[in-house]
Amino acid sequence: MNKLILWDIDGTLIYSGGIAGECMRAAMAQVFGATPTSERRNYAGKTDQQIILETFPDREPAELLSRLDEFTACYMELLSARHADLASPNWVLDGVLSALERIGTGEVIQSVLTGNLAPVARLKLELTGLLHHFDLSVGAYGSDHHQRAELVPVAAARAEARYGRPYVGQDVVVIGDTPNDIACARAAGARAVAVATGPYTVDDLLSHAPDAVLPSLVDTEAAVRAILGEPVGV
């Protein structure tokens, strides 16, 4: 396998219509108590651990993260209760299926690099019918570290252990819809491919100097060229 392709989930592969965010806020309230401010925070590009720490800035990080398993169980229970709302291919963004299928025919590993906690990532992909496209055993998750920039080495190490070869530099491709996805790739010397299907525009993403920017994944040929490192225009 020549490349390790790491996909972000929310805003890149799927859009959950705000359901996941509602469940996460409810789980935080149940486990950690009332938030110190009613201001709604921007979750885009952040890990779940980071969101918890930023939501309760007056609490000790160690105390908050010591209850991560409890939070995960609560969050999963709330998401599962919304199974009927989430279990739909309609949440999959346009062009995603074709891109996954085309890239999956090559000598590549497709997995995820996501701010979601690992069980949450699996559930979202399962409910939207995307799970079979990915080897989640070599993915990196918000449960691995609170800083997204630390996640590429986690996935690369898992892929090397499983497939018996190192994945370094441009062997690794990170695909996401936020500046944090770009920064995460840059921190590890990986290829950064940005997709303007989340809260950021093409121009917003271009200002962070990714290797390629796509308005969406609808143009399968353009998406494949961008992800695999062939020249592509915006």
Per CATH, 3-15+89-228 and 19-85 having the same topology is answered no
Q: Does the structure show a pLDDT above 90 at 172?
A: yes
Q: Does the structure show a pLDDT above 80 at 17?
A: no
Q: Does domain 19-85 have CATH number 1.10.150?
A: yes
* Number of C-beta neighbours around residue 225 at 10 A: 16
- What pLDDT score was predicted for residue 106? 83
With pLDDT > 90 as the criterion, what percentage of the chain qualifies?
80
For domain 3-15+89-228, which CATH number applies: 3.40.50.1000, 3.40.50.720, 1.10.357.10, 3.40.50.300? 3.40.50.1000
Q: Where are the domains of the chain?
A: 3-15+89-228, 19-85
Q: Provide the whole-model pTM.
A: 0.92
Judged by phi (left if over 0) then psi (alpha if -120 to 50, else beta), residue 233 lies in beta
- What pLDDT score was predicted for residue 37? 65
Q: What average pLDDT does this structure show over 19-46? A: 83
Mean pLDDT of all residues belonging to the chain: 92
